[in-house]
Structures are given as structure tokens and as C-alpha cells.
Structure 1
Amino acid sequence: MTVSLQILLAAASVLALLGVMTIIRHLAKSAGLAAEMQRKLMHVNTGLFALLLPWLFPDRWPVYMLIAATMLVMLVLRLPRFSSGLGAALHGVERTSYGEFLLALSVGLCFLLARENTLFYILPIAVLTLADAAAALAGTTYGTKRYVVEDGDKSLEGSVVFFVVTLLVAIICFLFLSKLPPSNIMMLSLMVAAFGTLVEAQSWRGFDNLFLPLGLLIFLKSHYHSSLAELALLAAMFFAALASFGVVGTKLGLTKHTTRVYVVAVFLLLAAAKLQNTLLPILVLAAHGWARTVSPCDSKYSDLDIVAALGLLGFGWLAAGNATGWDAISFFGLSAMGLAMGLIAVALRAIPVAVPLAATVLFVIRTWVVPQNSEQSNWAEPLTVLALISLLCTAAVPLIRPQWFDKDRVLKLTLLALIPPLTYYAWTVAASMGDGFFAGVVS
């Protein structure tokens, strides 16, 4: 397929998306479809189309162009001029949701991270498309036993349907797209269904559209080749963590929902990274718990916001490393270290003299972590100066301007912690690619 034809197909796909939205809005007016039903119809249609992407485009770049164009269209449809018209098919629900953006983002990230392994792309997107829609339909129609999620609720019946549909989807995908033995297929399918159900049940503001497919993809990449015994041990550890976190979370004043979200976050960290690289992100959760206790902010769901921040940082750096070919795990560690430092600085407002000690501890932890990683992961090391700059920025700003972090604390501290490592990473990768390009020209 020629380049021009692929560009034309990508443009036609965006127009088709707008056409589907127009049809759904027409049905909504004529048949009185609720806002949630309109959103789910768009969700299913978008997901089904996304499943075709590996076969529609022989090259990868048109897919990323298509996703970028789709996200731009969604952004325009959020403008007041369109929000009550065509845009209502996506975000007419009353609750705050970023689901349409996160769905497009997750499709792009899954397509990037799955590489040539079709199973790693198809299974997560199929679960997100089919199981999520089936659960919503069952919960809306038959749900009687409800449980609270953020400022809304979900139904036990919907979660059961989600588990069953996910299990069936996983079995079918493994049978047709893998060569694993039946025992491993069954164990992996059960774990995918259980883990996926927990992620979907605990998600909020549409974050299941991001955490569910990417969480499943990371789990598959990490444990696809694990033995049956290793999978059984992993399952036992997961449910043990769920039980133990429930006890600890209650003592820390966390809600049951937040506690389960923390379990999912820690499990994803352990699945995606080596143990040493999970220390600083886990310290972020601990530092946040300390900061919100000592100096509460006005965010209604700050305990969930910190998990979202960690997830976006982790997925973002993982995608950056895969897209550029330059491993970004050290930079994820720097971001987590900076975020932990900012939260600790907030907690130590009353005793600022203790901040340098906390910064020293974080610096020592990072110094210990780096040699545990491979040479490929440490290609940019030593990053001592960058680590010190990051610690200085994230410690000084909350102490000098504490009032800045009384509102939207997690968002502001995350951006503050991200700026130094992201700037250096972008500059280093660009310089390295430029050197390689010029070297090729000269040779």
C-alpha cells in the first residue's frame, strides 16, 4: 500500500468516526438514548475499528497519525460550540470523564508496545471493547448489588459479566494467536480475567480505558512465558496483597476503593519493572499518604490522583523508551524520586530543616538502584547532577511557595518532577539521533 493511500485511509477513518457520532446523535434524538448509552456505542464502535488496525495499515506511522488526529477532533468536540451537539455522543455524561482521550491514547500505546506480537495488542483492546460494554449493559439492566467507586457506583452483576466475557475473549485470543499449552492458556486466561475485572471495577473518570488495556499488555509481556507454577505463585501473591493491603489501608484511613486501587498499582509496578525500580514509585505512595495526613489539600480524590499520576508517568516513560529505542527506566526513577521529594517537602513544611535529610535518603536509594540495572538501562548514566537538580527543584518550590500546592497538588508536583528528566532525556536522545544521522551522511 502506497504512502498516499495510507494517508487517505487514515483521513477516511477520522471522517468515519465523525459519521458514526452523527448517526448515534440522530438515534439519541429519535429514540431517546441516554448519554451513557451514546458513549458506550461510540466506545464499542471505536474499539472494534481499533482491532482492525494491524491489518489495515502495513506501516505503523499512519496509525499514530490517525490517533493524533482523532485526539485532536475529540479536543475540538469538547469546545462549548460542539459539546451539546456532536460532542455529546462522547462526553454527555454528567460525571467527570476523560474516557475518549484515554481510549485513543491506550490504542496508540498498545500498538506501540505490542510491536509485532498481535496477541499483545488484540487481547487488551478486545477486552476493553467487548467486556467493558457487556458489563455496562448488564450493570445498567440487571444490577442490584452496588458498590461505591469515587463519586459513582458500579454493580456486582456487571463485574461478574465482565469476568466471564474477559475469560472467553482471553481463551479465544490465546487459542488463535499463541502456541501455549492448554494448561498455561487456562491459567493465563483466568488471571487476565481476574486482574482485568479488578482494574475495571476500581477505575474512575474513564481511567479504565488506559489502565485496563495497558495493564493487561504489561502483564502479558511480563508473564507470557512463565511456567504454570510461576503463574500460580503470582496469583497467590496478588490475592495475598489484596487482603493485606485491605488491613493496612483501613489503618491509614484509606477507603476500600482506594486500597484496591493501590493494590492494582503496586501489582502493575512489580509486573512491569524489576524490584529495585519499584522502590521509588512505592515511596511516592507512602509520601503521599504522609503529606495528605499532615497537610491535606482540597482535591476530592487525591489518593486516586496519585495512582493516576504514577500510572501516566510509568506508561509515558515506557512508551518513550520503546518509541526512541533509548531505555527510559532511569528517567522514570528520577521522576518518581522528584515526586516523592515534593510530597515529603509538603509534609515537612513545619520542619524544613529535615528536608535535606529526606533528600539525602532519596538520593542514596537512587544511587543504590542504578548499579542493579543493565548497561542498556544505564546508557545515560551518570545522572548525578540531574538527580540533584531534580531534588532541589521539587524540595525548594513547595517550601518557598506552599500555597501553590493547596490545590491540584498531585498534578503540580508531577509536572514539577517531570520537567528536569524529560527535558534532559529529549535533549540527549535528539542529540544522539542527530549524531547518528550526520555520521551516516559523512560515511
Structure 2
Amino acid sequence: MIGVAWMLAALAAWLVLIRLWQHWAHPHPEWARKLLHIGVGMVGFGFPFVINSRLPVWITCTVAALAMLALRLAGPLRRGLGVVLANVNRVSLGEFYFLLGLPALFTLAQGGALYGTALAILTFADSAAALVGTFYGRHRFGTHPEAKSLEGSLAFFAVSFVACLIGLTQNSVGVPEAVLASLAVSALMALLEAVTGHGLDNLLLPVCSYLLLRSVAGLDAGALAVACLTAFVIVAGVVPWKLVLRDKKAIDHPALNPPATLEKLEGEEQVSV
């Protein structure tokens, strides 16, 4: 249980640091949320070294989820550390899905080599998609405030590809095979991220990416070429149906219209953390 305490303490310290930075610098709310997202992911990377057992991992994530719930619901906490979670203009349960997807991934992977690859996709590719889409997204799809962007999806694909390539080559997969497998997995995961909302991708991405990586890791180049082609055909088939591109002006741009939640919450009660 010492490992559980260390992991929870690390996450709490990271949350306090984010809140202090948010209080002093007043960044766009998406920065704070994604820094927390990355912090949870970094705790997940530490599980195989600090805990390396399924039950303590589930306990850690359950306690963290209950703490996140308290930060959302309890008034004084919500106006303090909870601003990190609440200060966005959309309904999202992403932190809870993350804390469900993380132990589910650990249970499936048992802390193996592909565990880190799947977690990297969720931690870094998903964060890249959100930040690039928020600040640089011009070709947007979906409905506000759940709208996403082509630029964000491409950022997700690029970061995911690098994570998969590194993970697969470290898992004794040849470079040509790793490139083909990474293209296929990254394309499908970018599509999954694009079509899911309310933070559900935080549960689906780690589980689905791990299962896909495990499935393709042992295939030869010919089979991987077919898998890669199939993945891009699926993406090309879904894009015209689901991802209807819109002009930038058709949807409010979140980077240009940050919510006033931070100022509102801080105005209700001055909190020093």
C-alpha cells in the first residue's frame, strides 16, 4: 500500500501545482485540463515500477476518481482545486474515464511492453489533439462544444504513430513491419478519438489501442500491408459520413472564446492553494 500512497501523493502534488499556475498565470482552461491529463498518464507509467499488481492499481484509481468527484461536487473544493476540472465550457467525464481505462489497460497488459505504448497514445496523442485543435483548429466538425478539428486529428495521428513505432520496435518488431502496424493503429485510433465525445475516448483509446497493438505485433509485412490498407479504407469511408468539415466561422472557436468559469469561481471565493 506504500506504492498506492506514493502514486496518490504524486497526483495530488501535480494537481496543486497546476492550480497554482492557473491561479497566477490564468492560462486557457484546456492547458490546465491537459496538464492534469498528462499527470495522470505519468502516474500510470509508474505503476509497473512502483506497484506492479492489479488490485493496488485499481485501488489507486478508485481513490483518485472519488477525489476527482469531490473536487467537482463539493463547493469549497470546486472553487479551489476543482477549478482545474470545472473550468471548461463543455460536459466531460474524461478524468473518470481515464481512471477507469488506466487500470483496465494495466489488467489487460500486465505492465508489459505494449502497456506503455497504449498509455502513451492516451497520454500524449490525445493531449496533442486537444491542444492543437483548440488553438489551431480551422476545419472543424461535430457540434459545439464537442466540436473537434481535422488539425487535432492529424496531430493525434502523428504523435500516436511515433509512440507506436517506438513501442513496436522496442518489442522486437522489424522496422518495416512496425511502420505498417503503426500507420494502421494510429489511423484507427485517430478516428476513434474523433468520433467519441464527453471524454469517453479516455476509456476506449487505451483498451482498443492495446488490443490492436497486440493483434498486429506478430503479423508479417504482407498481412500488415493489408491491415494498413483496410484501416485507411475504414477511415476514408467514415470521414465523409461523420466528419463533416465546417468553415471556421460556423462554430465558435474555443480558443477565441474561453469560458468565464475561472473568473466566476474565483470571484465567489478567493482561494489560496
Distance, in Å, in 2 between the alignment partners of 1:74 and 1:58 is: 23
Residue 172 of structure 1 corresponds to 166
Residue 93 of structure 2 corresponds to 98
Q: Which has the larger Rg? A: 1
SS of equivalent residue, structure 2 residue 141: strand
Q: Alpha-carbon deviations, 1:146-187, whole Å to 9, x = none?
A: 2225743222222222211111111111222x1122221111
How many residue pairs get matched? 243
| Greater helix fraction, Structure 1 or Structure 2 | 1
The answer (yes or no) to whether the contact 1:150–1:204 under 8 Å persists in 2 is no
| Distance of aligned partners of 1:76 and 1:239 in 2 relative to their CA distance in 1, 3 Å threshold | same
- Partner residue of 1:256 out of 242, 253, 267: 242
The answer (yes or no) to whether the contact 2:117–2:163 under 8 Å persists in 1 is yes
Displacement of 1:205:
0.4
Distance, in Å, in 1 between the alignment partners of 2:63 and 2:25 is: 30
Distance, in Å, in 2 between the alignment partners of 1:245 and 1:155 is: 15
Question: How big is the alpha-carbon RMSD for the aligned residues of Structure 1 and Structure 2?
Answer: 2.2
Gaps of 5+ in 2: 245-273
Distance, in Å, in 1 between the alignment partners of 2:108 and 2:116 is: 12
Residue 59 of structure 1 corresponds to 53
Residue 133 of structure 2 corresponds to 139
Residue type matched to 1:196 in 2? M
* 1:29 equivalenced with 2:37 (yes/no): no
Residue 86 of structure 1 corresponds to 81
SS of equivalent residue, structure 1 residue 205: coil
Displacement of 1:239:
3.9
The answer (yes or no) to whether the contact 1:149–1:202 under 8 Å persists in 2 is no
Distance, in Å, in 2 between the alignment partners of 1:17 and 1:8 is: 14
SS of equivalent residue, structure 1 residue 211: helix
- Partner residue of 1:221 out of 205, 209, 214: 214
Distance, in Å, in 1 between the alignment partners of 2:243 and 2:74 is: 33
Displacement of 1:93:
1.4
Distance, in Å, in 2 between the alignment partners of 1:63 and 1:216 is: 20
Distance, in Å, in 1 between the alignment partners of 2:26 and 2:79 is: 15
- Partner residue of 1:181 out of 174, 178, 194: 174
Alignment of 1:91-130 (within 5 A): 91-115=86-110, 118-130=112-124
Flag the structure with more relative contact order, 1 or 2, with Cα contacts below 8 A and sequence separation at least 6. Answer: 2
TM-score by length of 1: 0.51
SS of equivalent residue, structure 2 residue 142: strand
TM-score by length of 2: 0.81
- Partner residue of 1:205 out of 189, 198, 206: 198
Residue 249 of structure 2 corresponds to none
SS of equivalent residue, structure 2 residue 148: strand
Distance, in Å, in 2 between the alignment partners of 1:67 and 1:9 is: 12
Displacement of 1:233:
2.3
Residue 377 of structure 1 corresponds to none
Residue 237 of structure 1 corresponds to 230
Distance, in Å, in 2 between the alignment partners of 1:8 and 1:43 is: 23
- Partner residue of 2:33 out of 31, 39, 42: 39
Residue 264 of structure 2 corresponds to none
Identity of aligned residues (%): 33
Displacement of 1:59:
3.3
Displacement of 1:242:
4.7
The answer (yes or no) to whether the contact 1:150–1:257 under 8 Å persists in 2 is no
Gaps of 5+ in 1: 1-6, 248-254, 259-443
| Distance of aligned partners of 1:241 and 1:157 in 2 relative to their CA distance in 1, 3 Å threshold | closer
Residue 301 of structure 1 corresponds to none
Distance, in Å, in 2 between the alignment partners of 1:227 and 1:143 is: 37
Distance, in Å, in 2 between the alignment partners of 1:238 and 1:193 is: 9
Distance, in Å, in 1 between the alignment partners of 2:192 and 2:155 is: 14
| Distance of aligned partners of 1:63 and 1:245 in 2 relative to their CA distance in 1, 3 Å threshold | closer
